[in-house]
Amino acid sequence: MKFGILVNEGPYQHQASDTAFNFTKAALDKGHEIVRVFFYHDGVNNGTRLTTPPQDDRNIVNRWGELAKEYELDLVVCVAAAQRRGIVDADEAKRHGKDADNIAEGFHISGLGQLIEMGIKADRVMAFGD
């Protein structure tokens, strides 16, 4: 089955991103296809490489990046939600005259159209977080 994954909450405060990750991994292990993982609302905060959790805790951001690398996953951070919350890649930093970018490896910033397209392509869209 083709799944689209929507993550609507940031890391750590809510378990949504953990559950989405576990679901995604389990689906891949069972041989299902992940069309895309789309990060919206505060979910865009899953895509900053500046996250520094305590060493004895899971690193939610890196974990997504590693899974993306292993399975060539498309991790998309919504541009409109990202701009509001200060998640920036090199292009966005340049366009808006920012002095830094912070997008994590494996993630990329794109438009809301990617969410709709994910819905069209997937057999099921699974939304995680309120």
Partner 1 sequence: MGNGVKKFMYVNRRAPYGTIYALEGLEVVLIGAAFDQDVCMAFVDDGVFQLQKGQDTAESNMKNFSPTYRALGDYDVNKLYVEKESLEQRGMSEDDLLALTYEDEDDDYKEKPSIRIVNREELADLMEQQDIILNY
Binding site for partner 1 (CB under 8 A): 6, 40-41, 80-81, 84, 111-113, 115-117, 119-121, 123, 125, 127, 130
Q: How far is the CB of 38 from partner 1 (least distance, A)?
A: 10
Tokens representing residue 12 in the block:
């750590």
Q: How far is the CB of 41 from partner 1 (least distance, A)?
A: 6
In the bound state with partner 1, the residue whose beta carbon lies nearer, of 27 and 81, is 81
Which residue in 78, 88, 103, 122 is the catalytic one? 78
Q: How far is the CB of 46 from partner 1 (least distance, A)?
A: 16
Residue with tokens 């689209």: 4
In the bound state with partner 1, the residue whose beta carbon lies nearer, of 54 and 113, is 113
- SS3 category, 59: coil
Q: Is 78 a catalytic residue?
A: yes
Hey, what amino acid is at 63?
R
Burial of 6 (0-12, 13-18, 19+ CB in 10 A): buried
CA 65 to chain centre: 9
Question: DSSP assignment of 3-26, as one string?
Answer: EEEEE-S-TTTSSHHHHHHHHHHH
In the bound state with partner 1, the residue whose beta carbon lies nearer, of 67 and 79, is 79
**Would you name the residues annotated as active-site residues?**
78
